[in-house]
A = this chain, B = another copy of it.
Amino acid sequence: MGVGTLLLGIDIGGTTTTFGLVTPEGEILARGEIPTLPDRPADDLVERICSGVTKLCAGHPDKVPAGVGVGAPNANHHRGTVENPPNLAWGGSVDLAALFRQRFPGRPVVVTNDANAAALGEQCYGGGRGMRDLIVITLGTGVGSGIIANGELLVGASGFAGELGHTTVDPGGRHCACGKRGCLETYVSAPGLCRTVLSLLADRRDETPLRRIPPARLTAHDVYLAARDGDPVARAAFAETGRILGMKLADAVAHTSPEAIFLTGGLAAAGDLLLLPARRSLEEFLFPVYRKSVRLLLSEIPAGDGAILGAAALVLSRTGR
């Protein structure tokens, strides 16, 4: 694939789908955004993405996408399918790669998990440049992860490798949307942070403005604002979230021993409130041979660009530069 050829990177989220025309060097020349409308079938979304892309390309008449990379929830890297997505009414299994290949005949189409795409984006265009071993953790409504080891994205025998959000923190712990209990996602996602606030409100007696927000309306942003204002419960919630995240990242290091772990997603925007306790806990729980060797960092890719760039990087990683 020659330099100057544009790639189409697509990020399908539960609420919003974004896409962009990306140079192989990682510059997003044009971008679009549409509502995912998760109650409609997959064809409908693909159709609307393609209309949007046609409009983008109209501004770049000689630049048709040379390849298409798609990051999507519950995507199977081997099969190019999206399987039982919890937030999309697409049913059991949708062959997303085939749907895009119909629209872009003869072009490479690669579909992967959105967090895998983010990991490739970080390695190609972010803080992970030059690294052969890294992990990206996406902290949002859920917790996703993409693992790069020996220079390559790990997809595993199933095509679903890298689901650290569903490793177990406490086998008798919080109920998870996946049907298990005590998954990491129930503690260190945005809703997990709010659950920790509720648990602290139950345990403690101190006054805090967080007691005046109905639990159904409490958001991670409320907790962030309270913590920024010095609220002890909000700060304790971030500290506990960081402690659990660090503990499980130490487990992740004992698997693939990365050079760095990058945090991205809405909750990562809390910065030091989360990063400092997470770093302390990571170091504490690391097996001694790994201590002082792993950096826990915020992603260097601007919020919103990660998945588009990653999906584009996915095409490059599959086709070679």
Identify which of B152, B163, B250 contacts A254 (C-beta below 8 A): B163
Identify which of B132, B160, B180, B285 contacts A257 (C-beta below 8 A): B160
Does A216 have its Cβ within 8 Å of any Cβ on chain B? Answer: no
Indicate how many identical chains form the complex.
2
Q: Mark A150-170, 1 if CB is under 8 A from B, else 0.
A: 101011111111111011100
- B251 adjacent to A167 (CB under 8 Å): yes
Does A288 have its Cβ within 8 Å of any Cβ on chain B? Answer: yes
Does A95 have its Cβ within 8 Å of any Cβ on chain B? Answer: no
Contact residues in B for A83 (Cβ distance below 8 Å):
289
Contacting residues of chain A (221-249) with chain B, CB-CB under 8 angstroms = 247
- B285 adjacent to A255 (CB under 8 Å): no
Interface bin, chain A? 35 or more
- B257 adjacent to A287 (CB under 8 Å): no
CB distance from A112 to the nearest CB of B (A): 13
Q: How far is the CA of A276 from the CA of B197 in the complex (A)?
A: 39
Nearest to A147 among chain B residues (CB) is B255
- A154 adjacent to B163 (CB under 8 Å): no
Given A84-B289, A132-B157, A133-B157, 10 more pairs with CB closer than 8 A? A84-B288, A147-B255, A149-B149, A149-B156, A156-B258, A157-B259, A162-B257, A163-B287, A179-B288, A256-B256
A-B contact list, 11 entries, CB within 8 Å: A84-B289, A149-B256, A156-B258, A157-B293, A158-B289, A162-B254, A163-B289, A180-B285, A183-B287, A251-B251, A252-B255
* A residues adjacent to B (C-beta < 8 A): 74, 83-84, 131-133, 147, 149-150, 152, 154-164, 166-168, 171, 178-180, 183, 247, 250-252, 254-259, 285, 287-290, 293-294
